[in-house]
Chain A
Amino acid sequence: AQTVTQSQPEMSVQEAETVTLSCTYDTSENNYYLFWYKQPPSRQMILVIRQEAYKQQNATENRFSVNFQKAAKSFSLKISDSQLGDTAMYFCAFMKDPNNTDKLIFGTGTRLQVFP
């Protein structure tokens, strides 16, 4: 069974600084998807970034980028130039390749606080 581990329950960063959130996962699959979702106080779940395992290039979305290490089964999220609006819970998630549709599994989350 697949598992997702987020070992940092809480993180804090000063505005404009950079922060990295950690995520590791366990799977025997070769093809799969990894995600980072953001949950602000509004409770809404928002996709931040997505990585396909067959792609070696790390995904980036504006100030958000990932460090995907397939052999180490690591998928960290880097937030550059942190903004107050980045304050939220961040969840790492895993899913098998869509051709083998299966459960979307989440980690326990990291609560990020951005300070002025």
Chain B
Amino acid sequence: NAGVTQTPKFQVLKTGQSMTLQCAQDMNHEYMSWYRQDPGMGLRLIHYSVGAGITDQGEVPNGYNVSRSTTEDFPLRLLSAAPSQTSVYFCASLEYGRMNTEAFFGQGTRLTVV
């Protein structure tokens, strides 16, 4: 059972470059989300999706795009990387129900923008 697979684990970008962080889950979860983690600021929500074809903005969406064409995949796109986007990024999918509500996380991507 793979759970949430997030790639890459590490990435260095130059300012202005674009890239896509991949996230896939095999648990048939409807809810998926992207967070960034910065020292002293916890995990801040970038974008989330409650099902295929449905996405919405979180707390810090600027500079990031998402799409959800399938239940399994939820990629995060940086269109023009900036040093302020240096962070650790986490993808999560959520299993929800009365007895077993829980978020499952990928291993994280450490992104450095120089």
Contacts and interface: CB of A to CB of B under 8 A. Distances in A.
A108 B108 contact: no
Given A43-B88, A45-B90, A98-B96, A105 B101 contact: no
Nearest to B51: A101
Q: Is the interface of B mostly helix, strand, loop or mixed?
A: strand
B82 interface: no
A109 B90 CA distance: 15
Given A45-B92, A52-B98, 7 more contacts: A35-B102, A37-B103, A44-B105, A52-B101, A98-B96, A101-B30, A104-B45
Interface of A: 6, 9, 33, 35, 37, 43-45, 47, 50, 52, 91, 93, 95, 98, 101, 103-109
Given A44-B107, A47-B102, A104 B50 contact: no
